[in-house]
Structure 1
Amino acid sequence: MELASKRRRTSRSPSQSYKFDDEDDDYVPYVPVAQRREAKLAKLSSLSTVSDRTKAKKQLEELLEREDAEREEERQREKTRKERPLLMEAQEVHERKAAENAKKTEVEKEEEADAEILAAIASRRKLASDLELAKGISYTDSLTTSWRPPKYIRERTDEQHRRLREKYHIIVDGEDIPPPIEHFSDMKIPESMLQFLKSKKITTPTPIQLQGIPTAFSGRDMIGIAFTGSGKTLAFCLPLIMLALEEETKLPFVRGEGPVGVVLCPSRELATQTYENVLAWTGALARDGKYPQLNTLLCIGGISMGEQSHVLNKGLHIVVATPGRLIDMLEKRKFTFNNSKFLCMDEADRMIDLGFEDDVRNIMSFFKRQRQTLLFSATMPRKIQDFAQQSLIKPVLVNVGRAGAANLDVLQVVEYVKQEAKMVYLLECLQKTAPPVIIFSENKNEVDDIQEYLLLKGVEAVAIHGSKTQEERQYAIKSFKSGAKDVMVASGVASKGLDFNDIQHVIIFSMPKEIEDYVHQIGRTGRSGKTGIATTFVNMTTPEQTLLDLKYLLMEAGQKVPPFLRTIDDPRAAQGGSLKGCPVCGGLGHGISNCPKLEDAQRRQMALHRAADDGGGY
């Protein structure tokens, strides 16, 4: 063994010698200052003529003086740094900034603070699926459809389109906007659907339908903003129905196929109402036998999905859903979005703001192809519009009136009522109009107390709020809609998009903090061109900022402003600031820095973080 190892050692090839990068031929070693001076003096003495030596000596002296001055300056700086602590330097910087801020007015400071908050909001990830964000997938062109407006409308000039939009107070924004169309028949809607709409006294499109339906028929992404009761549901359901009808006609759906698209709603009640509308419209199309029956699924919590197994056993065309139950059904693979290409969010600002944003991203991750996205609401503040426009593909903004403005068909009456006198005065207010009447309160316990009081006084009343079971909520809405009950007492859950027939009077028992909620609540009356009354109780417990928002809203709508509201002054006016609305909630009486909606969102976020921290120990 020793001989073998010795033989191996002797026969091993010699080690290679490596040259490192820093051993480069171009390497120049450091030469101290003294040596450099000596070298320069030697070079100077080698010069032949006296004049050359004198000239070179002068240049050398100037160079040495500069080097000495630079070294002295560096020594002084180093000495100062050692003598003065960092705390003193930081204090000087702080004092400089304070002096600069002192020169700015209060308005300028507020505008800077608002800009910082808006920048933080704008930094949110765009509304797309995690898969699209991770892979960097982005679409540049809108979906193409087979629909085209009639030839005579296509031949109109841009000026004619602009005049028509001005006539109906429609504001649009975007590129290559489809033309507005004044008649349903020119939108190429089937005759059976036109007859059904006529039977419901819907003969001409409302402004949001006039511009919104052609935009959606063209395959464009869209943000639709219009006051409550203006026919937004038809504007986004009809394009989905026609898209599903076209797909079914090309090749009939079988079990396991579909849906073509989905409508997302923030509440079960709104989803149920939208589902019933879709059933009525698809039923009208199929009734004369010219068109196939479309299958629609209602996908909400609190109901048994087994009851709709007959729909799931066939091809599925349309899904109307709330986010939680929809995610559950998609994860269980009861159906897929593999071939879906239509997504609509009703009350879109509430969907994004009420903690549904992560759910919406989750739902989007189930889409396997490009989709057309429609966002509709009565109140869509600027920050939601900006956020949505980054997330959509070449979106068209269709706005009928200011986002967050009150319905002009509603007479708004604001009354100062002491807290202890509210219940008694409520009975007086109920005498103003014939039933049905809706009463809103922000507090669930107060909702139950009002219902109990009215029942004791012989008033047929039902109550609805988030803590009621689904059966109780459905019973309340059904009995109120049928006319079996005269009064519905409700929390905010009934204010978002729900459509009740012939509501002449809405009573707001406790004024909501956020002016958006007020706009939605009074919007339960004065729908589809009818008029209505909204009576609001306020008192010392109502925040002054909310009263200021209310004051400006009444002024904007040309309503009577009561004396106690007129006496409330806006601090921004005293500072000479601009009185533009809050970009977060649309309220006209405050800026972003003191927005109640933003404060609530931050409070919810902190509560979520605390809950996550508390659970971290397990």
Structure 2
Amino acid sequence: MSDTEYVPKRRRVRSPSPPKQSNESDDDNYVPYVPVAKRREEKFAKLQSWGVRSGRDRPKRPQDEAEEREAELKEEELKKEKARRERTLLLEAQDVLKKKTEQDAKKTVDEKADEEDAEILEAIKSRRKLASDLELAKGIQYTDPLTTDWRPPRFVRDRKPEENERIRDKYHILVEGDDIPPPIESFRDMKIPQPIIDYMKSKGIKSPTPIQLQGIPAVFAGRDIIGIAFTGSGKTLTFCLPLIMTALEEETKLPFVQGEGPVGIILCPSRELANQTFENIGAWCGALAQSGKYPQLNCLLCIGGISMSEQSHTMNKGLHIVVATPGRLIDMLEKKRFTFNNCKYLCMDEADRMVDLGFEDDVRNIMSFFKRQRQTLLFSATMPRKIQDFARESLIQPVLVNVGRAGAANLDVLQVVEYVKQEAKMVYLLECLQKTPPPVIIFSENKNEVDDIQEYLLLKGVEAVAIHGSKTQEERQYAISSFKTGKKDVMVASGVASKGLDFNDIQHVIIFSMPKEIEDYVHQIGRTGRSGKTGIATTFVNMNTPEQTLLDLKYLLIEAGQKVPPFLQSIEDPRVAQGRSLSGCPVCGGLGHALSNCPKLEDTQRRQMASHRMEDTGGY
């Protein structure tokens, strides 16, 4: 250790500061809020104690008046805010409800019903119009319809509007739209090639039907069209003939080679209807080619259940026309077997089904493959107001051609409604088959019942075939071909055969089980009484048939001037007791119920909920 010792430094210990004494002056600085009125009284009292004249005696300065006004406004705002806080939301809701009740009391029953229907329609209204995703995303909108080279004859162009209206009234044609092309009463004046006219004459078609004499000129002129007409009135020819003429024009200008086309597409909701349309187009195109004056047009059938390789000879050429069901068409487009780069014609047969819940997304998907503006045609015998409004929003300056009320029954069909107990249906069915000679179609909504009816008829020695959605495509094609050729006398079918199928010389249709939706009934009885011929439709009803369906049937019979049996007459409409007017349902077209009771709407909502549950549970 060194001589110098280490002396540690002494740390200064800081004495704790004395506790801070509370300062009374801090409390004195606090000034409580004093209302304006009280401050004014205190100020007035102080002035009086000084011997100064009161405010009434001396004139106020502008600055004082401004301060007082500002203070008064603030005080009023505070009072209002306090009142607003004291007023609860419950009181406000009661006031709103009271005002609504007073307004509702002034409205009539019909006005209330219309408002309810409008609310339901708004709730189920489609959010997007019928257009491709690209057009919707980019905001592409077409304002003018397509232009064509077709012109009606001069004497037709020179007609006065009154003369055109007289012709439409003569054939009971209702039209809506701007700049509507004139009706033409002759195929020759429509400038249709002579080979097709000769072929139609050989099939007994000598002059256009009402839907054709107005619809064909409108389509020839390039207009989008909504076509509504009775079953068996010639709608297929109305939309097929202009497509054939368009394809013929394109082929004549420059022949198609492999990979080109199609010019137009026809969408159908069922394979059977697509196959029938394909056969009709093939016959008309064949008549053109056989004349030797026109080139051969290639048509492709694109439906599920068949091998597309069987049509490879058509696929290896340029395509002019494609007839398809949505599912198989999407598959072919995604595989790029052909494209819609030059496609400018789209027709949907049974359009109310095509744009309904089941196919609407598929139709939008198909439209996304179009690269240009197209002419869009929608045809059906039953097109409710909801579908019509939706179509008007989606089409470009559409022309609505309506022959009769949308959803009305064919007037050429004698409708017979009979009350038959469930256990007696099979026996009575044999009696009904004796009314007319074959062929006869029997409809049932249940697939198992279809098979049971066929088996019963076969046991009784009746040559019968059956068709429904669970059968293979080969079985379905065999049933239809054997029935059409007369090998089989009776065809038992589900709803798959009720839409658009055309059978020759059917005099009798038996509806074994009445469908819930009245528009299905209209399509089913429409398999007879086609092309100006008459037919009979016998319908079995009993206690199992919903009363609302029976009421729809009652009004349909009254509208068509048919005999209404006593048990249907006895069914009363609840809307009459409520004092409401009777109008058709905008969703299904039924006359016997309001929108709130529509069976089609209920079924649609049920399917939507089921699909949502499938998505939530991963499909299990």
Provide TM-score, normalisation by structure 1: 0.89
Distance in 2 (CA, whole Å) between partners of 1:463 and 1:566 is 34
Report 1:159-558 matches (<5 A): 159-558=162-561
Distance 1:52 1:380, change over 3 A: same
1:582: Cα distance to partner?
0.3
Paired AA for residue 313 in structure 1: N
* 616 and 430 in structure 1: CA distance in 2 versus 1, 3 angstrom threshold: closer
Q: Which amino acid is 1:71 matched to?
A: L
Counterpart of 1:75? 82
Aligned to 1:150: 153
Contact residue 126 and residue 390 of structure 2 kept, 8 A: no
TM superposition shift of 1:98: 5.7
Report the Cα distance in structure 1 between the residues aligned to 2:502 and 2:569, rounded to whole angstroms.
Answer: 33
Letter in 1 for 2:433: L
From 107, 119, 122, the equivalent of 2:122 is 119
1:107, 1:575 within 8 Å by CA — same for their partners in 2?
no
**Letter of the structure 1 residue corresponding to residue 544 of structure 2:** T
Q: Note if contact 2:225-2:400 (Cα within 8 Å) is conserved in structure 1.
A: yes
- Calculate percent identity across the aligned residue pairs: 78
- Please tell me whether the aligned partners of residues 379 and 586 of structure 1 are also in contact (alpha carbons under 8 angstroms): yes
- Find the aligned partners of 2:153 and 2:238 in 1 and give their Cα distance: 19
- Separation in 2, partners of 1:613, 1:60: 66
Tell me by how many angstroms 1:111 deviates.
Answer: 2.6
Structure-2 separation of matches of 1:151 and 1:107: 49
Over 3 Å counting, the alpha-carbon distance change for 1:370 and 1:76 in structure 2 is closer
After TM superposition, give the deviation of residue 72 of structure 1 in Å: 3.6
Amino acid across the alignment from 2:573: D
> Is the CA contact (8 Å cut-off) linking 1:121 and 1:383 kept in structure 2?
no
Q: Secondary structure at the match of 2:149?
A: coil
State the match for 2:575 in structure 1.
572
Secondary structure (helix, strand or coil) at the match of 1:353 reads: coil
Counterpart residue identity of residue 522, structure 1: I
Residue 186 of structure 1 aligns to a residue whose secondary structure is coil
Among 132, 135, 138, the alignment partner of 1:129 is 132
SS of equivalent to 1:241:
helix
**1:68–1:143 distance in 2 versus 1, CA, 3 Å:** closer
The 1-side partners of 2:80 and 2:493 are apart by 77
In 2: Cα distance, 1:51 partner to 1:218 partner: 91
Structure 1 counterpart SS, 2:214:
helix
- Cα pair 2:259 2:316 within 8 Å, conserved: yes
Q: CA 1:175 to 1:423, structure 2 compared with 1: closer, same or farther past 3 Å?
A: same
Distance in 2 (CA, whole Å) between partners of 1:67 and 1:227 is: 74
186 and 77 in structure 1: CA distance in 2 versus 1, 3 angstrom threshold: closer
- Which secondary structure state, in structure 2, belongs to the residue aligned with residue 399 of structure 1? strand
**2: distance between equivalents of 1:303 and 1:77?**
73
Give secondary structure in 2 for the equivalent of 1:184.
coil
Q: Which amino acid aligns with 1:446?
A: E
- Specify the code of the residue in structure 2 equivalent to 1:342: Y
Tell me which residue corresponds to 1:4.
none
Greater helix share, structure number: 1
Q: 1:590 aligns with which of 588, 593, 608?
A: 593
Q: What's the CA shift for 1:71?
A: 3.1
Distance 1:238 1:543, change over 3 A: same
Maintained 8 Å contact 2:109/2:579: no
Which has more radius of gyration? Answer: 2
Q: Do the aligned partners of 2:386 and 2:586 also contact (CA within 8 Å) in 1?
A: yes
Deviation at 1:121, TM superposition (A): 3.1
> Compared with structure 1, are the counterparts of its residues 56 and 262 closer, same or farther at alpha carbon in structure 2 (3 Å cutoff)?
closer
Superposition RMSD in Å: 2.5
Asked whether 1:602 is paired with 2:568, we answer: no
State the secondary structure of the residue aligned to 1:601: helix
Partner SS for 2:376: strand
Would the aligned equivalents of 1:221 and 1:393 in 2 still touch at CA under 8 Å?
Answer: yes
Residue in structure 2 matched with residue 562 of structure 1 by the alignment: 565
Deviations 1:416-453 (A, max 9, x none): 00000000000000000000000000000000000000
Q: Cα gap change, 1:292/1:33 in structure 2, threshold over 3 Å: closer, same or farther?
A: farther
Report the equivalent of 1:21: none
1:426 partner amino acid: L
- Using the TM superposition, give the Cα deviation of residue 354 of structure 1 relative to its aligned residue in structure 2, in angstroms: 4.8
What letter corresponds to residue 372 of structure 1 in structure 2? Q
Contact 1:581/1:590 (8 A) holds in 2: yes
Amino acid at match of 1:128: A
Unmatched segments (≥5 aa) in structure 2: 1-32, 44-51
Tell me the SS of whatever aligns to 1:406. Answer: coil
TM-fit CA distance, 1:113: 1.7
The 2-side partners of 1:266 and 1:58 are apart by 82
Cα distance in 2 for residues equivalent to 1:228 and 1:333: 36
Q: CA deviation at 1:352?
A: 1.3
Stretch deviating more after TM superposition (562-571 or 346-355)? 346-355
Cα deviation, 1:227-260, whole Å, max 9, x if unaligned, reads 0000000000000000000000000000000000
AA aligned to 1:368 is K
**Which string of whole-angstrom CA distances, capped at 9 and with x for unpartnered residues, describes residues 545-576 of structure 1?**
00000000000000000000001111111111
Tell me, what secondary structure is at the counterpart of 1:229?
A: coil
Aligned-partner Cα distance in 1 for 2:443–2:619: 39
Which region of structure 1 is more displaced relative to structure 2, 345-354 or 236-245? 345-354
Q: CA deviation at 1:523?
A: 0.1
Amino acid at match of 2:612: H
Q: Deviations over 1:500-555 (max 9, x none)?
A: 00000000000000000000000000000000000000000000000000000000
* Aligned mates of 1:343, 1:274 — CA distance in 2: 14
Distance 1:433 1:256, change over 3 A: same
- The alignment partner of 2:188 has SS state of helix
Q: What SS does the corresponding residue of 1:535 show, helix, strand or coil? A: strand
Which residue type is aligned with residue 363 of structure 1? I
- In structure 1, distance between residues paired with 2:207 and 2:83: 84
Cα deviations across residues 93-136 of structure 1 (Å, max 9, x unaligned)?
55665666566665544332211011223352100011110010
Counterpart of 1:377 in structure 2: which amino acid?
A: S
Contact 1:110 1:593 in 2 (8 A): no
Distance 1:74 1:546, change over 3 A: same
Q: Is the 8 A contact 2:514 2:540 kept in 1?
A: yes
Question: C-alpha distance in 1, partners of 2:344/2:282?
Answer: 20
- Please give the alpha-carbon distance, in whole angstroms, between the structure 1 residues aligned to 2:568 and 2:562: 12
